[in-house]
């Protein structure tokens, strides 16, 4: 099973465009074996598009609060997200780490809160630059983020390896180097959850994936799916990515 997750980031600006992109994307996805598609619009569009989500296309959120309830002005709880039909939450995206200084501690709490609410967590990790101690950066980020996760919840844990230098730049990582980094992530998962569980855990790639370069990544079985930003805002482009991402033995 591979996951292809659309992260719309802070787009689109208008309700009618959110409805159109979501509706067109759902219309282009039939029932597909071996692939799970989710779309993560900005919070305000979640109730607008939620009735269009189907078993074939899940609704997801780009972030969540770390508490289940309480006096947290401006925050949204994972329980609320579940209530409105979300199945999945992106946690610790590099844009949140960079622009709102989301800390390792907050990311750890958000991951636990998301899983506790019964949602899938898509935990993002990745180095700033491919230089210096970049491998250590991946290992430490992953180790810190998963520290408090209970073994019972790991069926709903996905990791997204997103090298920051590849996000939104048009310069994707190479498929071979992506696999090397995914194996680093998997080493941390093995230490924490054991080899058998870690082998099953999907580790996705994100960073400038488009309908052209997807083919080079799709042939690598170690890559558990894709987190797609700009390439997900056009339903036609995104559906090409989804089709190409299917594992050959499952099509
Ligand atoms: P781009 O596909 O726009 O590079 O974004 C990747 C990403 O951040 C998905 O979460």
Q: How confident is the model at residue 251 (pLDDT cuts 50, 70, 90)?
A: low
Strand ranges for the chain from DSSP E: 2-7, 35-40, 57-61, 86-91, 120-125, 157-161, 203-206, 225-228
Q: How far is CA 165 from CA 4, 15, 177, in A?
A: 21, 31, 14
- Which atom of ligand 1 is least distant from the CA of 90? 10
Question: Mean of the pLDDT values across residues 108-116?
Answer: 98
SS3 per-residue string spanning 92-105: CCHHHHHHCCCCHH
CA of 163 to the centre of ligand 1 (A): 10
Let me know if 93 is a catalytic residue: yes
* Per-residue confidence (pLDDT) for residue 249, from 0 to 100: 63
Domains for the chain: give ranges and CATH numbers: 2-250 (3.20.20.70)
Mean pLDDT of the chain: 96
Question: Mean of the pLDDT values across residues 124-145?
Answer: 97
Let me know if 237 is a catalytic residue: no
Question: Mean of the pLDDT values across residues 204-219?
Answer: 98
Catalytic residue among 135, 162, 222, 230: 162
* Per-residue confidence (pLDDT) for residue 121, from 0 to 100: 98
Question: Mean of the pLDDT values across residues 5-34?
Answer: 95
Q: Name the residue with the closest Cα to ligand 1, atom 7.
A: 229
Q: How far is CA 52 from CA 48, 57, 201, 230, in A?
A: 9, 9, 29, 21
Helix, strand, or coil here: 91?
strand
Does residue 250 carry a pLDDT above 70?
A: no
């Amino acid at each position: 099973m591979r996951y292809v997750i659309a992260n719309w980031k802070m787009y689109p600006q208008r309700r009618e465009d959110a409805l159109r992109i979501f509706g067109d994307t759902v219309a282009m996805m039939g029932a597909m074996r071996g692939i799970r598609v989710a779309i993560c619009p900005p919070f305000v569009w979640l109730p607008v598009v939620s009735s269009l989500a189907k078993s074939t296309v899940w609704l997801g959120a780009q972030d969540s609060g770390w508490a289940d309830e309480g006096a947290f002005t401006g925050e949204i709880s994972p329980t609320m997200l579940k209530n409105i039909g979300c199945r999945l939450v992106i946690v610790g995206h590099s844009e949140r780490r960079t622009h709102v200084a989301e800390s390792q501690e907050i990311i750890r709490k958000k991951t636990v809160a998301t899983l506790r609410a019964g949602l899938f967590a898509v935990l993002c990790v990745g180095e700033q630059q491919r230089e210096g101690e970049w491998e250590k950066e991946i290992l430490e980020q992953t180790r810190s983020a998963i520290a408090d996760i209970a073994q019972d919840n790991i069926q709903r844990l996905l990791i997204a390896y997103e090298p920051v230098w590849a996000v939104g730049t048009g310069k994707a990582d190479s498929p071979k180097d992506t696999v090397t980094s995914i194996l680093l992530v998997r080493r941390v998962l093995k230490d924490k959850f054991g080899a058998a569980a870690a082998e099953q855990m999907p580790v996705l790639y994100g960073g400038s994936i488009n309908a052209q370069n997807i083919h080079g990544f799709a042939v690598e079985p170690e890559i558990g799916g894709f987190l797609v930003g700009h390439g997900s805002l056009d339903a036609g482009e995104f559906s090409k990515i989804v089709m190409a991402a299917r594992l050959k033995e499952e099509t």
